Amino acid sequence: MAFCIITDSASDVPESVIKEYHLYVMPTPVTIEGKDYFDGDTIFPEQFYEIQASGREIKTYHINQYMFYEHFLPFAKRGDEVLYLCFSTGIAGTFNAAKLAYEQILEEYPDFRLTIIDTKCASVGYGLVAERVLRMQKNGAPKELLIEAANFFCEHMEHAVTVMELEYLFKGGRLSRTSFLAGTVLDIKPIIIVDENGSLKAVEKVRGWKKAQKRILDMVGEKGKSLEKQVVGVCYGTDKTAYEFIKKELVDRYHVKGLLEGRVGCAIGAHTGPGILGIVFLNELQDKYEEYLK
């Protein structure tokens, strides 16, 4: 019997982490002109953004109960215990579907133990949680501490995000037509966080893409705690130049301990467009977890 930590592809966990820890990642579905694809399995970011740029119809939906049942079943059959780090309920219905699937499996395997954490995070926000908990597990942290730490990291994870294009937020109903038109003319870029409910929330507006990049960097200094002791997450869609700038600034300005480098996949990219840029970091640290993260 093993204690397994798993997540879904909306966490945008880097391939290097998946390989190092043999992390099980459930692919998030995306529909392109009526055909289903699975993020990180049958479609990947480079291909996805090319399709998005072509204007083809793209829709997303969360992993449903049946899919979760199929993913959880092998763990139940082996007698493994599972910690599932789940996409925020403030953005998708993933948590409820996973819970229903677990209840279904318990009818067949009543001894199966599954802890589902609503991370209230998005993209590498909970990709970073997964990486930290996996590293703690590798360094010998007990199961109870891993679950406790995962909850702590989720609670104290900050997201500083901006997007280049407003049309995708408008199409997804997250921006009014008036704001979309005015913002496009004035070159307005929203500064987005994930709030206490796990929902995406625009908290500021700045003019110009470069200013938006600088603003999310400033937020790291304003909200981050002991950044020199932290591995900070960074993610992007297609703007590699902006991504490299952000990484360099995090190292030069804040002397971060390390970077978790992610690529935003279909689950988030379908709603933000290719010009997404984000930084995730903690606003609090705990020594009892840090001793397993060295």
User: Which residues are paired to 43 by β-bridges?
Assistant: 39
Residue environment code for 36-69, b if the CB has 16+ CB neighbours within 10 A, otherwise e? ebbbbeebebeebbebbeeeeebebebbebebbb
Residue range(s) occupied by CATH 3.40.50.10170 in the chain: 3-155
DSSP label of 39: B
The answer to pTM > 0.75 is yes
Residue range(s) occupied by CATH 3.30.1180.10 in the chain: 157-290
Averages of pLDDT over runs of 10 residues in the chain (294 residues) are 95 96 96 92 93 89 95 97 95 93 98 97 96 97 97 98 78 59 68 91 92 98 96 96 98 97 91 93 95 90
Helix (H, G, I), strand (E, B) or coil at 166: coil
Contact 4, 82 (CB under 8 A): yes
Neighbours of 26 (CB within 10 A): 25
Contact 193, 203 (CB under 8 A): yes
Contact 282, 155 (CB under 8 A): no
- Which burial class, exposed, middle or buried, applies to 277 when counting CB atoms under 10 A from its CB (0-12, 13-18, 19+)? buried
User: Which residues are paired to 36 by β-bridges?
Assistant: 31
The arrangement of secondary structure in 3-155, i.e. its CATH architecture, is: 3-Layer(aba) Sandwich (3.40)
Helix (H, G, I), strand (E, B) or coil at 216: helix
- Which fold would CATH assign to domain 157-290? Hypothetical Protein Tm841; Chain: A;domain 3 (3.30.1180)
